[in-house]
Amino acid sequence: MLLLCQLFIPQLIQAQNTEQMWLEYKPTITFPKDYKLAMRGSYRTNFVDPRWRTLELRLMPEKKLNKHVDIVASLSFLETLQYEALSTSEIRPAVGGRWHFLPGRRVESGVLARVEFRNVYKQEAQEWTYTTRPRLRIFASLPLTEKSMSADHVLYATSFVEFFYQDEEALQERYANRYWIRLGLGYKLNKKIKLELLFNRQDSKNTITTNFDELTKENIFVFSFIHKLN
């Protein structure tokens, strides 16, 4: 995590950026035999004109195979409403896996790899587009006030780096290729409730032909309420 800060924080404070806010509610239901259903409802918006807003509902079933490997899937429904002539609806299934580097250690870390199958309906043009996009995330969390995340009343640090890639020839929209750098603090109240305040740097290609040295840079402030229901 210290290495992430040394590498990326100088980049985060450079140049002109725009800001966004994301509000997230993330309930989870666990089942016997190491099955789990995580969900996410989110509201996203920006702070400058033209204003836009996105509503998302995501279902994320997963199965723990052993202490190192989880099989994951998701199904997302997104609605983006904009004042300019660009409104979209999206259905986004995905499949992948999660690998835990050192399970049971104080630092929880690993890699999450997924492939998304994106079905985007452009409302003004009344047409669907279909694309496939791999995503790769490297993550880590560290308890700051206790020896592990199993205790109650734990303050912890969390971070990840995630890369989104879509082949240039298949790219039919803005912002399909991007990367995220996320750093933040969380508080585990008890085994059912966690709260997180996160800073997410998002760098994106802003046109089909843009090079990655000409990225659109956005600062995203994320507030998450994580709730284990059973």
pLDDT digits (tens, 9 = 90+) for 117-126: 999 898 877 8
- Rounded to whole angstroms, how far apart are CA atoms 119 and 229? 31
Q: Report the pLDDT value the prediction gives residue 13, as an integer from 0 to 100.
A: 45
What mean pLDDT is predicted for residues 178-204? 95
- Rounded to whole angstroms, how far apart are CA atoms 46 and 19? 6
Within 8 A by CB and 6+ apart from 29, the residues are 36, 37, 229, 230
- Which structural domain range is residue 102 located in? 2-228
Higher pLDDT, 122 or 60: 60
Within 8 A by CB and 6+ apart from 83, the residues are 49, 50, 51, 52
Provide the number of structural domains found in the chain: 1
Token pair 């996410």 is found at 40
Q: Report the pLDDT value the prediction gives residue 57, as an integer from 0 to 100.
A: 98
- Rounded to whole angstroms, how far apart are CA atoms 215 and 85? 23
Least confident of 47-51, 159-163, 223-227: 47-51
Q: Is the pLDDT reported for residue 131 higher than 90?
A: no
User: What 3-state DSSP class applies to 69?
Assistant: strand
User: What 3-state DSSP class applies to 86?
Assistant: coil
| 90: CATH | 2.40.160.40
Q: Per-residue confidence at 161, pLDDT binned at 50, 70, 90? A: very high
Higher pLDDT, 15 or 147: 147
